[in-house]
Amino acid sequence: MRSSRRRSSIRHRSIAAAIAAFLAGGALAACSSGGGGGPFTLNFYNFPDNSGAIQQAVDNCNKAAGGEYTIAYNKLPTSADGQRQQLVRRLAAHDSSLDILGLDVTWEAEFSEAGWIRNWTGANRVAASRGTLQTSLNTATWRGNLVAVPYNTNTQLLWYRADLVPRPPKTWAQMIAMATQLAKEGKPHYIEIQGAQYEGLTVWFNTLVASAGGSILNKTSTAPSLGQPAIQAVQTMRDLAESPAKDPSISVQQEDQNRLAMEAGNAAFELNYPFVYPSMQADKPDVKTYNGKSLADNFRWTQYPTVKASEHSHVTIGGIDLAVSSYSTHADAAFKAALCLRNKQNQLIAATVGGLPPTIESIYTHPTASFKKSYPMYQAIFDALKTASVRPKTPAYQSVSIVISHTLSPPGGQDPVSAVNTMTSQIQDALDSKGLIP
């Protein structure tokens, strides 16, 4: 257990050290803060992309700018924690060399509340919202303000083996029953899911709570709102973890371990993101099947199972939103450039080259041939996005996520009522910035 106050003091010392380093170093990292009326540089900070999709978008927008400005793509660290840490330190130092920021969908509330990013208003808000998926806009909204523009998104589907599962399940109970029957028949039967003690476990829980008709926080993000849907969610997690359907490694598994287990032929079901499909088609595992077709040919998809037969599943979405720094000296141009970076052309590049599902509806409703080829499951993704849920929206998200993942790890052996009571108390402490969190 660590005190949130202790973590806060560490953070403040880190920020103070960063400020001192900036002051001692004189000039900041780049030149967007320069004055004058000539061409200038807009610094775009985003996750490191090895596919080349982001650089293609930057090149496209530099051409479109006609010499008004040049966008420079600055790569953040590989890990999400490292990305956030760099941005937080530099924004706390009022670093004017940051213009456009690629934010994980869990950071918007924190960055907005701290005053680090600008609201999208007037014509900019209209342009950012036009034709954009509502669930993606929800990730970029805090206290009624649009604080970023959705750049890309992601959602999980249920992947299954057609040679083992001729008709995919609609609910978790049906899926666990099918997997249990496959186990009795001595066939591959595991249900692959993210059960390790990290944010993936929080995402699993959030999806189940939403699919049971509830939410982790209330509408104003001031208190937990767990209740019976959360109890049902914990019960579902325990049902899997204590059944023959569980992978023995469930308590340490993340997305890539799930992918590998399915490709090894050990699983019948997998809850995961669309990246698993091109991996399966590229790897073409040599695994015994029960209908003479390859494992890749038997790899199918459908909607994420729900908790209640009467409810849609509400899968937790991810993605990146683009924000404009409060300290940018070229804010008007930064808004214009951000809109360009996430326009339809560049979202198609991000999808087909970078593997990141788009947030613009028309890409799904009027798909291009290249999009269909890259995403044969595009209709299932679109359907999932229309009913998706978002992670708990709060500046204290990091602490809330830690509370959930620590309380529910490992998923087996949980007492649902006790687990929910523990989370309710500790989440409230996290929201109030007091008490102990794991």
Q: 301-334, pLDDT tens digit by residue?
A: 999 999 998 889 999 999 999 999 999 999 999 9
Beta partners for residue 257, in sequence order: none
Looking at residue 134, its amino acid is Q
Q: Give the C-alpha separation, 47 to 101, whole Å.
A: 10
Closest CA to 216 of 198, 234, 241: 234
Q: Give the C-alpha separation, 393 to 135, whole Å.
A: 13
- Largest alpha-carbon pair distance within the chain? 75
Q: Contact 269/190 with Cβ under 8 angstroms?
A: yes
pLDDT at 33: 42
pLDDT at 6: 33
Alpha helices in 26-168 (DSSP H): 53-65, 80-92, 108-113, 122-129, 134-139
Q: What's the N-to-C CA distance of the chain in angstroms?
A: 4
Q: Contact 55/45 with Cβ under 8 angstroms?
A: no
List of residues 6+ apart from 22 with CB closer than 8 A? 28, 90, 93, 95
| pLDDT mean for each 10 residues of the chain (438 residues) | 35 39 38 58 97 97 97 96 96 98 97 98 98 98 98 97 97 98 98 97 98 96 97 98 97 97 98 96 96 97 95 95 98 98 98 96 97 97 97 96 97 96 97 73
CATH topology assigned to domain 157-315+396-437: D-Maltodextrin-Binding Protein; domain 2 (3.40.190)
pLDDT at 26: 36
Q: Do domains 7-154+319-386 and 157-315+396-437 have the same CATH topology?
A: yes
119-124-126 Cα angle (round to 5): 110
Q: Contact 91/392 with Cβ under 8 angstroms?
A: no
Residue with the two structure tokens 């940018």: 328
pLDDT at 211: 97
Which superfamily is assigned to 7-154+319-386 in CATH? Answer: Periplasmic binding protein-like II (3.40.190.10)
Q: Provide the whole-model pTM.
A: 0.89
Domain ranges across the chain = 7-154+319-386, 157-315+396-437
Which H/E stretch holds residue 269?
strand 267-272
Return mean pLDDT, the chain. Answer: 92
pLDDT at 310: 87
Structure tokens at 41: 């540089």
C-alpha of 305 from chain center: 19
Per DSSP, 107 falls in state: S
Q: Give the C-alpha separation, 325 to 309, whole Å.
A: 44
Closest CA to 99 of 69, 128, 63: 69
